[in-house]
Structure 1
């Protein structure tokens, strides 16, 4: 199914906006819940909602031969990614943490070069260098007390596991149904996070008030389940390549929302680091987009 430009723009806007507000919303929710139990709740609820869309595609499941793909994907994309993410988010400003995590396109370019046979070029190299310099600048302790070294490391760990998870999903995409892959990895990963959280955290520490329930619902429905559905709609329509050029807007949205609604502050050091990281992400995404355009032109010339 080919989407119109208007529909593509609407879906991309929704996806980036939800990714952006996810960070300050999750930061706010952590005021009422412990990290692992919160991560388990949001992922399990989102996975159960996606099950509604996956069940009609039950003939595509083929669990007997592909169970290991679902398991590995759940470990990388859910258990490790959201585990590191949620703990790190509790230690750092939401906007800043999201910027570190969204270095993923930069690291993904390196991983795709090493394991998927994609080309390496000057844009990607410069983007990677600028991104890591930006993280180093942010990590320098100037006595402000705003930056947690452990939080930065957890953000980088989130980025690495997300990158490996994405590469693994790309390499395995022809063997599994995309919606079933997302649904099962979320349900399995969410349950593991809930079990782990139950062992090391206390359910009584969750404040089940109206702000927490409302925030959890928005995150599970809009920032988790619906964003994945939109993602796969864009992939199936051939518009996934455009998402790369929009990725750098996610941390910007997260920063603006965090400053306005959470009262977070940004120091000069953070601004320098943020600019370096975002420029690095933009360089990689611009190159990815130009490569995609060349591929489309080549395909068109062979028709």
Structure 2
């Protein structure tokens, strides 16, 4: 295979798969409540993962390591996916949700400074400020009666912020406590923890009714095999090839890719102010991601 295949095509494919998760939620949520569809997604994903664990003779962590993975699963899968699905379910455009949670590298960098005592360069601080300003511009239009005529209640924004906090803290926690664990074993434990979390929410807060339409079936199938299985397997392959850095550098493309998909599929439009804010936010995230924080001097 040519070097371009490893350095660009496969990481870009991973980014595209990740971006379609917001679209899959948009397609599936009209037919099932958020926690219900997420519970089904986790349970269906665990089946092929269990087969892979047997075939690949997965090594399982001890109880202490498993406990850390449970915390990571509740943050990265539970809080992140729950926040994303509920914000979309309550009317937030999928492109806007993607932009908000796309600030994850910025929040993670700040958390790394506080938790891991990492340093942040001047370039990265500039990126942090640009990211926040960009999202503020988007919200300035979307939270009022912007060009799209959309008015978002504060609770919808809180769900998106919960998703952002969940994946950001989960990333830092994983970096601090979850390194060196077999990826399939770690993924299964995280999904089991998330499934328990979603089951609690589905049985306490929702009716658990599902309309089994073709659109819902296809959306659920894509969320399971396109996102929870394929994206994870590609990520494993990239890590083994030593290309994880390319994934990080391309990750800031997720919000514009999602916005384009939402425009084509759902006619979700951004006004001039929101588009300008999106460009500023994506540029800010790029400044943070493309030059990672360096360890503090001792």
* CA drift at 1:270: 1.5
Matched with 2:202 is 197
Aligned-partner Cα distance in 2 for 1:196–1:258: 28
Of 281, 290, 297, the match for 1:286: 290
Native 8 Å contact 2:65 2:178 kept in 1: no
1:142 maps onto 2:144 in alignment: yes
1:1-303 correspondence runs (5 A): 4-56=3-55, 60-90=59-89, 91-140=91-140, 141-144=143-146, 145-148=149-152, 149-174=154-179, 176-204=181-209, 206-288=210-292
TM-score by length of 2: 0.89
* CA drift at 1:57: 5.3
TM-score by length of 1: 0.87
Aligned-partner Cα distance in 1 for 2:292–2:2: 21
Residues 1:153 and 1:131: Cα distance change in structure 2 (over 3 Å)? farther
* CA drift at 1:213: 0.4
Native 8 Å contact 2:248 2:289 kept in 1: yes
Aligned-partner Cα distance in 2 for 1:32–1:5: 41
Native 8 Å contact 1:88 1:154 kept in 2: yes
Q: How many residues align?
A: 289
> Which stretch of the first structure deviates more once superposed, 45-54 or 156-165?
45-54
Native 8 Å contact 2:69 2:186 kept in 1: yes
RMSD of aligned residue pairs (Cα, Å):
2.3
Q: Aligned with 1:203: secondary structure?
A: coil
Q: Deviations over 1:186-231 (max 9, x none)?
A: 1231233033212211122x21111100111011111122111211
Q: Where do 5+ consecutive residues of structure 1 fail to align?
A: 292-303
> Which stretch of the first structure deviates more once superposed, 249-258 or 55-64?
55-64
Native 8 Å contact 1:111 1:164 kept in 2: yes
Q: Aligned with 1:188: secondary structure?
A: helix
Q: Aligned with 2:118: secondary structure?
A: coil
Residues 1:15 and 1:114: Cα distance change in structure 2 (over 3 Å)? same
Q: Deviations over 1:38-60 (max 9, x none)?
A: 12222332233222222345562
Residues 1:15 and 1:115: Cα distance change in structure 2 (over 3 Å)? same
Aligned-partner Cα distance in 2 for 1:27–1:138: 20
